[in-house]
Structure formats: C-alpha cells, structure tokens
Amino acid sequence: MDGLNHVAFIMDGNGRWAKAKGMPRINGHKAGARAMEQIVPYAFTKGATVLSFYAFSTENWSRPKDEVNGIIKLLFWLLDKNLSYLHENQIRLLVTGDLSCLSKVRREKVLNAINATKDYKKTVNILFNYGGKSDIMHAVHGLIDSGIKRPTEADFENYLYNNLPPVDLLIRTSGEMRLSNFMLWQCAYAELYFTKTYWPDFGKEDYDKALEEFYGRNRRFGAITNPK
C-alpha cells in the first residue's frame, strides 16, 4: 500500500530509559514491551501489513545472565498475554531467528503460536536470537544442502529464516545510528529513520512523525526522478 508495506523497529533505549528513572534495566524492558503492544494496532491502522520488532540479537547474549533471562521471560509473557489478541485481529505471528537456544517446551510454544496464526494476512514478526549475518549464513547453508548451484536472489530469500518482503521503513529509537546486525539483506533499500526518543516512550505521535518523514522522501531505487 502506497509504498509502505513493511515497517521494522530497532527497539533501543530500554536500559537508558530505566536508568534515567532510577529503575533497574528490566523495568525498561517491561515498559518497552508495553510500547510495542501499543504501536502494533496503530501501525496496522496506518497501512503497514508487516511489522518487525528486533527483540533480542545474537550479540545480546553478552549481557548479564539476569538481564538475558529477564528479556526472554518477558517475551514469553507477551506471547501468552497476546495470543488471543492475535487471533481476534487476524494477525500472523512470525518469530525470526535461531530458536534452537530455547528449551523444547518453549520452542514448541512458539512454533504452535506460529502455526495457529499462519493463515492470517497481517504479520507481527519478532526477531529473536537474530542477527542479519546469521540469517544470511542460514540461507547459505540451506542452499548448499539443497544442491542449488547457482542460486538466484529469489532462491536465496527462500532459505533465509523467513521469506519476508523488503523493509520499507526502518525506525531506530534512542539516538543510535547503526544497524546492529539487523536484517542486512531485507534492509537493502529501506528508508532509515532515527529518533532520540527511548523505545518505552515511543508512541503514536512518534510513529506519525516517522511516517511523515517517510512520505516526504524520494525513493528512487537507483533511478532518476525527472529524466530529461
């Protein structure tokens, strides 16, 4: 729809948000989870059909164990809390990343939710234990195993963790201006939007600002706008 199909979020700044309030980092992650719950319905009403959220990167394992466990627990709490919401609103859940780090019980819980919602059209995609490089290597290994000798881009995309449409708009909060190993293939032509707002404070008005900026951009995809 009008060029805005896939919006991705690098939800950054939870820790600094908590610190600024004199609270433990995990409170920032909890507030971040609430911000995510609020932005999902709003972003769908504003036209996107795929929403991707960077929840836990392959690099985030280097954080203290308590924080890592806290984030994972929080993600499962979110899933339990919102599974009926996904059904009621016909939203498909995808989880993109290496799920082999999860216990069997947790992995099955995720896979069941993915399977139960697979026919819905709108998509919430959670990037968990995800890295753009790991995604690309997953595709490389899959292609080698498949025996395809000269893969096309379309073949390659079939072997990524999930075959997602290209990211149109990538929003990163908290003032950091980097990709941090996020969807390297899928962001090849994404419009990048950075805001200083910490993720837990990111709301509808911030999203509107990002959209305004997006619609003001000239997406040329390498072509020229006024040939003559």
Out of Mg ion, ligand IPE, none, which partner does residue 16 contact, by CB within 5 to 8 A per kind?
A: ligand IPE
Q: Is 60 a catalytic residue?
A: yes
Crossing angle for the helix pair 65-88 and 25-45, to the nearest 10 degrees: 30
CA separation (Å) from 138 to 101, 123, 152, 198? 15, 22, 16, 32
Q: Is 206 a catalytic residue?
A: no
Out of ligand IPE, Mg ion, none, which partner does residue 162 contact, by CB within 5 to 8 A per kind?
A: none
The rounded distance, in Å, linking the Cα atoms of 46 and 217 is 17
The distance of closest approach from Cβ of residue 213 to ligand IPE in the complex, given in angstroms and rounded to an integer, is 20
Q: Which 161-220 residues touch ligand IPE, going by CB under 6 A?
A: 174, 176, 178, 180
Sheet holding 6-10, edge to edge: 91-96, 122-130, 50-57, 6-10, 169-172, 191-194
Number of Cβ within a 10 Å radius of residue 212: 9
Tell whether residue 57 is a contact of ligand IPE (CB under 6 A). Answer: yes
Tell whether residue 7 is a contact of ligand IPE (CB under 6 A). Answer: no
Of these, 44, 56, 159, 202, which contacts ligand IPE (CB under 6 A)? 56
Beta strands in the chain, from DSSP E residues, in sequence order = 6-10, 50-57, 91-96, 122-130, 169-172, 191-194
Which region among 6-14, 122-130, 196-204, 207-215 touches Mg ion (by CB under 5 A)? 6-14
Out of ligand IPE, Mg ion, none, which partner does residue 27 contact, by CB within 5 to 8 A per kind?
A: none
Positions in the binding site for ligand IPE (CB under 6 A): 10-16, 54-57, 59-60, 71, 174, 176, 178, 180
